[in-house]
Chain A
Amino acid sequence: MRELVRLTANLARLCIASIGATAIVLAQAGAQDAAPAGSAARGKQLFAVDGCYECHGYQGQGNGRDGPKLAPDPPPLALIALVLRKPIDRMPVYTSKVLSDNDVADIYAYLQSIPKAKSVSDIPLLR
């Protein structure tokens, strides 16, 4: 069980590492964010049904540990898609059998729809 907790706890670090490594690949390839327009409403459902919220939170806010922040201002769609299809370490793999390209586009639309957060100075409990 201790091993299980530890491995799961590594998700954040590994997801971040995965995104970082992939970002380099995308930058080198000149990849662009050429995605089909998705449905934010359906993407919101998929974000919950397919378990993204488990580590990234229902608003893609991340949890500072098991999953990095995905929204607002999500990384490029191509980057997210690449991490979903070929994650490293403990990020679950989402093949097209599990999550179609259209599903990914819908989830991305949901992430894009999430509004900006308040600033720290606007939250008395964080001052």
Chain B
Amino acid sequence: MTPPYGPVLLAVDTYMQEDEIPGGEERRPPIPKLPRISSPAGEQGAVKEIARLLVNADRPVICADRLARTPEGLKRLIELAETLQAPVCDTTNRMNFPWRHPLNQTSRQRSLLSTADVLLALEPSDPFNLVTNKDRYGNLSPILPAGSTSITVSAAQLSPKGNYQTAQRYAGDVSLAVEADAEATLPLLIEEVKRQLPASRKSALQARGLAFAQAHRDDLNLAKQTVVYGWDDSPISVPRLCQELYAAIKDDDWSLVSDTEFQSHWPQKLWAANKHYQYIGGHGAQGIGYLTPAGLGAALANQKHGRLTVSIVGDGDLMFVPGTLWTAAHENIPILYVVHNNRCYHQELMQMQFIANRRQRGIDRLGIACNISHPDIHYADLAKSMGVYGEGPIEDPKDLGPALRRAVAVVKRGQPALVDVISQGR
């Protein structure tokens, strides 16, 4: 009912479900009225303290993780960042901040943190990892400079289920931990920042903002220069896949309903997104088999708004719940699935490579339980067998754009479609 929100499993005994209510209709238990819920915001003194630290900071950094749970979260973070002209680093676990906003400095997170004097972490799912370097031997070193101030605002701390499960490793160097919902706290914090911000600081903040705007433009140009390598390669490069998809949808009211972790976050680096529904965020658990059905749920929610729903799913993910395709066809839910088909559980493969090399054994057997080939899966045929429009496998990058446009046309007619793209690992 209140943050932190999460899935709830309600298990009811079968007989209880089937049996009549003891005492009949007259004894039917009342259903309590649903109250309006007020989310827990940060305590006033703590909010004033955060504002004081941010206003006086020379090198503040805002890190947003599982922050925006409503459209308001996105708007409020923009307002806070612009008021302070402070850089925002977004973990991409939520649609927290516009991808092309000049203050979006996600690609510079490590370097910004290494010089930050104040860090404000909003709903960090792993505060320890956020501020800690770890080398191959497990040696730890702090990212934040000595003397810096680290602040967390997180509702996760209100109902911990377990120290590792809820917050990963304990982060011991947090200066101020505010146990509150960050989104509900932002309006109070913005108000307090505006109240404390002296007029004499504004020109300095403006200069800071201009520098970050230039840095953002530089990063975008660098990303473009990076993806030209391998652009015409086959298997198709992942940024090529992403850009061909973007070209096919960017003039529509699109919604990307898949995590971008396994696409190296190229959409965030190259696309422009500024609406709360344009990115679904991460699943929070790194599970496999989530993306395909979760995307369909989001597509169902998008349907009444007429949004063009697209999802980039891994071939491994799609293997877990292919029946989702039948559901999409059966229920006439428009969604475009683009299969990032690297014929592998690639995350696992990279890990196996690392370990096998270290142990000097089994290096020639890495594909066992990792590769999804011999036989190769034809996902377009799988889709067709379940009543979904299918294209592919697409191996030549020149064929990808036209295939995506044909598939988008199908989705715009209200039907699901799938394009199978033979792709590189990452």
Contacts and interface: CB of A to CB of B under 8 A. Distances in A.
Interface in B340-378: 346-347, 349-351, 353-354, 357-358, 360, 363, 366
A32 to B, nearest CB: 26
B136 A66 contact: no
Interface string B225-236: 111111111010
A65 B228 contact: no
Given A59-B229, A63-B264, A120 B224 contact: yes
B426 A55 contact: yes
A125 B243 CA distance: 7
B286 interface: yes
Given A89-B136, A92-B357, A57 B226 contact: no
B358 to A, nearest CB: 6
Given A8-B350, A51-B353, A51-B366, A61 B244 contact: no
Contact of B228 (A10, A13, A53, A118): A118
Interface string B216-247: 00000101111111111101011100011011
Contact of B239 (A13, A55, A64): A64
B229 A72 contact: yes
A57 B231 CA distance: 11
B230 A126 contact: no
A92 B266 CA distance: 24
The A contact surface, by secondary structure, is loop
Interface in A73-98: 87-90, 92-95, 97-98
Nearest to A122: B228
A58 B235 contact: yes
Query: How many interface residues does chain A have, given as a range?
Result: 35 or more
Given A61-B237, A92-B354, A125-B247, A5 B286 contact: yes
Interface residues of B, number: 50
A84 to B, nearest CB: 10
A61 B224 contact: no
A59 B236 CA distance: 11
Contacts of A50: 363
A55 B287 CA distance: 21
Given A90-B354, A98-B357, A2 B168 contact: yes
Contacts of B48: none
Interface string A46-62: 00001101110111111
A58 B233 contact: yes
A77 B231 CA distance: 25
Interface of B: 110, 126, 129, 134-136, 168, 221, 223-233, 235, 237-239, 243-244, 246-247, 261, 264-266, 269, 285-287, 346-347, 349-351, 353-354, 357-358, 360, 363, 366, 424-426
Given A6-B126, A97-B360, A98-B357, 7 more contacts: A1-B287, A58-B230, A62-B229, A65-B426, A87-B136, A118-B231, A126-B224
19 contacts: A8-B351, A14-B136, A55-B426, A57-B237, A58-B424, A61-B230, A61-B237, A62-B226, A64-B223, A64-B266, A65-B426, A66-B264, A88-B135, A92-B358, A117-B229, A118-B232, A120-B221, A120-B224, A126-B243
